[in-house]
Amino acid sequence: MSQSNTQSIRREVARRVFADEFNDASYTFKESDDERAPVYLLLPTGEQANRVFFIGTLTEKDDVGEDSEWWRGRIVDPTGTFFVYAGQYQPEAASALRELDAPAYVAVVGKPRTYETDDGDINVSIRPESITEVDSVTRDQWVVETAERTLDRIDRFDDEANEYARMAREQYGEDISAYTQTVITALESLEADDELGSPTTVESSPQP
């Protein structure tokens, strides 16, 4: 990989976000007219995300492909559910889903993808770049760090100089109090007895 390509990848920070907020996001945008310009998902707390980083419990995996492998993974954190999809263009992630046994704690870095349902709703999923099995200590550390990042975004939400917060207010509204509760729910889950495979989570609606 060339140095310029490496620098380009490094510029796109993988945002830490809880499933509850991620699943509420629906608006995507580009910051230039270049056909190859990155596509960003706008988080409701006022941050753009071309890539995301999360850790949760892989509870289910299925090969839902017809002509070739197309793996779907269901991964839960203390606030909800992420759905990841990996096929021939994500060979490392697809291989990981093929080899992993659920339940397992996994760390995922990937790109958000939005799609419109038959009912006209916008759902989001992850096209993973990497899926790595981790331990409970790493998972707990991610929860704490993601809580801190979420609170930082909430603190900056009313800053008029924050262009992404302005966009979020226009797209999703001004009330982000629910995400303070998201943080509380996530942190309280760390105080509960943690049994792998029985995560404290708020179930989200199943996706196809």
CATH number of the CATH domain containing 138: 2.40.50.140
Give the phi and the psi of residue 133 in degrees, each rounded to 5.
-70, 135
Mean pLDDT of 132-148: 96
Give me the domain span that covers residue 61. 3-187
Give the phi and the psi of residue 152 in degrees, each rounded to 5.
-60, -45
Give the phi and the psi of residue 12 in degrees, each rounded to 5.
-90, 95
Handedness of CA 140, 143, 148, 151 (dihedral sign): negative
CA dihedral defined by 190, 196, 200, 204, rounded to 10 degrees?
Answer: 130
Location of structure tokens 């759905």:
83
Mean pLDDT of 149-168: 95
Question: pTM of the full predicted structure?
Answer: 0.84
pLDDT digits (tens, 9 = 90+) for 3-30: 444 444 455 899 999 999 999 999 999 9
Domain total in the chain: 1
- Tell whether 207 is covered by a domain: no
Peptide bond before 78: cis, by omega within 30 degrees of 0?
no
- Tell whether 192 is covered by a domain: no
Q: Is the confidence at residue 165, as pLDDT, over 60?
A: yes
- Tell whether 204 is covered by a domain: no
pLDDT score, position 102: 87
- Tell whether 12 is covered by a domain: yes
